[in-house]
Amino acid sequence: MRVDGIIYMDHHATTPADPAAVAAMRPYFEERFGNPASKTHIFGWTAEEAVERARGQIAALLGCAPAEILFTSGATESDNLAVKGIARANVDRGRHLVTAVTEHKAVLDSMHLLEEEGFEVTYLPVGRDGLLDPADVRRALRPDTTLVSIMAANGEIGVLQPICEIAAAAHEVGAFFHTDAVQAVGRIPVRVEEWGADLASISAHKMYGPKGVGAIYVRRRSPRIRMKPILTGGGQEGGIRPGTLNVPGIVGFGEACRVAQQNLPTEAPRLLALRERLREGIAGRIEGTRVNGSLERRVPGNLNLSFERIEGETLLMSLEGVALSSGSACTSKSVEASYVLRALGLPEGLAQTSIRFGLGRWNTEEDVDYVIEEVARKAARLRGPGAARIGVGSR
Ligand SMILES: Cc1ncc(COP(=O)(O)O)c(C=O)c1O
């Protein structure tokens, strides 16, 4: 996919909205502009019908009941709601929470805030492959643990955590299990019930829907989940997330889920083949590249590479005709090495040399071949005589 001649290969940061999602949204800005909370006229009923259709489309993709989906403004809000909402509503049971050091900041910073409120948080380390050991989770659990929050797929290195084992361990001590499934949904089959998740966060703009809309799955079956809302106001979304619903966004989100469900069986192997073409192409052209995170347990379109003796940021800035990133968009303004890569045990120098490739729906083999050539050309130039050298062996 090229826009003004530039290949977009940063699909973990965000994705372009699918034309079907955009087309579905349009009438809900125009003649079907009603508020779904308006119960006395057709404008409200039409909007409500659209919201409920979208709820069904999202539930179908996640493998749950429509009533278990609550709409939010995005996954940052869903993560906040899950972590703070569960912790604060279950203090009579305990004040201990478990998460991993490689979680998204929306989870980590919620945990930090709860620590200031008197909660105790265990931050689990990951292995060199970026994966958690379920035995470590088990050891961290206590009778007063109320929540375990572990992401399904990492946004930087794409690794897939052993969610089912972790959920089962959490349930053994009566703790709830939340998963940030933002980077998994639409990329791998997500079945929240089979995973044993009590709560899951998802975001439309990471899966070819619009920005500013997300959802949280909250399991309905017993034991009942007690959750404190963060916002107060009207009674929308069962009072858990009050506020007038973003109807056009929700409609686009639902349509994006429908398209994702339809595409997944063909799109996942296609992206995997592109990813392997990219990995082999770059490894064949540039010596001293290494893959960060497990290659086997990974979303198909993700590749995160470190380049010995080249600073990733310098390489990125030198690349022409391709949009890539050095880590999560939220932290990419900082010059520090990614906290996710540091957690894998990479030395600062090597962690700073990383580039994240995020392949998506409209990327082609030609895009991949161009990127291989461009990265190889610029890497050779940066490693050439007189070039500044950092990374392995330089510190
Ligand atoms: C794993 C993960 N969780 C949460 C978020 C936040 O999502 P949103 O942009 O919808 O707030 C992101 C986006 O970067 C993400 O990658």
CATH of the domain at 347: 3.90.1150.10
Q: Is residue 389 part of a domain?
A: no
Catalytic residues: 330
The pLDDT assigned to 335 comes to: 58
Cα 277–338–110 angle (5° rounding)? 120
What is the extent of the structural domain holding 31?
19-258
182 lines ligand 1 (CB under 6 A): yes
Cα(392) to ligand 1 centroid in Å equals 31
Phi/psi at 41 (nearest 5 deg)? -150, 170
Q: Is residue 394 part of a domain?
A: no
Q: Give the domain-ending residue among 258, 293, 323.
A: 258
Q: Same structural domain for residues 134 and 269?
A: no
Q: Is residue 391 part of a domain?
A: no
Q: Is residue 388 part of a domain?
A: no
Cα(81) to ligand 1 centroid in Å equals 13
Calculate the CA dihedral of residues 290, 295, 300, 301 and round it to 10 degrees.
-10
Atom from ligand 1 closest to the CA of residue 106: 4
Mutate to test the pocket of ligand 1, among 203, 208, 299 (most ligand atoms within 8 A of CB): 203
**Residue pLDDT tens, the chain, 395 long:** 789 899 999 999 999 999 999 999 999 999 999 999 999 999 999 999 999 999 999 999 999 999 999 999 999 999 999 999 999 999 999 999 999 999 999 999 999 999 999 999 999 999 999 999 999 999 999 999 999 999 999 999 999 999 999 999 999 999 999 999 999 999 999 999 999 999 999 999 999 999 999 999 999 987 789 999 999 998 999 999 999 999 999 999 999 999 999 999 999 999 999 999 999 999 999 999 999 999 999 999 999 999 988 877 888 889 999 999 986 445 545 557 789 999 999 887 778 778 999 999 999 999 999 999 999 999 999 987 655 444 433 32
Copy the structure tokens of residue 25: 């949204």
302 lines ligand 1 (CB under 6 A): no
Q: Same structural domain for residues 221 and 170?
A: yes
Burial of 297 (0-12, 13-18, 19+ CB in 10 A): middle
Q: Is residue 292 part of a domain?
A: yes
Copy the structure tokens of residue 15: 């994705």
Mutate to test the pocket of ligand 1, among 72, 83, 104 (most ligand atoms within 8 A of CB): 104
The pLDDT assigned to 348 comes to: 78
Q: Give the domain-ending residue among 258, 282, 316.
A: 258
Helix (H) and strand (E) counts in the chain: 12, 13
Q: Same structural domain for residues 271 and 252?
A: no
Q: Is residue 299 part of a domain?
A: yes
Q: Same structural domain for residues 196 and 341?
A: no
Cα(287) to ligand 1 centroid in Å equals 33
Q: Same structural domain for residues 251 and 271?
A: no
Position 35, amino acid:
N
Residues 6+ apart with CB under 8 A from 232: 242
Q: Give the domain-ending residue among 222, 242, 258.
A: 258
Q: Is residue 393 part of a domain?
A: no
153 lines ligand 1 (CB under 6 A): no
Q: Where are the beta strands (DSSP E) in the chain?
A: 2-3, 6-8, 69-72, 96-100, 120-124, 145-149, 176-180, 199-203, 214-218, 289-291, 302-307, 322-323, 354-358
Q: Same structural domain for residues 236 and 286?
A: no
Closest-CA residue, ligand 1 atom 4, reads 75
Q: Same structural domain for residues 54 and 191?
A: yes
Q: Same structural domain for residues 217 and 93?
A: yes
202 lines ligand 1 (CB under 6 A): no
Mutate to test the pocket of ligand 1, among 105, 154, 182 (most ligand atoms within 8 A of CB): 182
Atom from ligand 1 closest to the CA of residue 212: 10
Q: Same structural domain for residues 241 and 161?
A: yes
Q: Is residue 288 part of a domain?
A: yes
Q: Same structural domain for residues 213 and 318?
A: no
Cα(337) to ligand 1 centroid in Å equals 19
Q: Same structural domain for residues 115 and 26?
A: yes
Split into its structural domains, the chain has a count of 2
Atom from ligand 1 closest to the CA of residue 203: 10
Q: Same structural domain for residues 215 and 283?
A: no
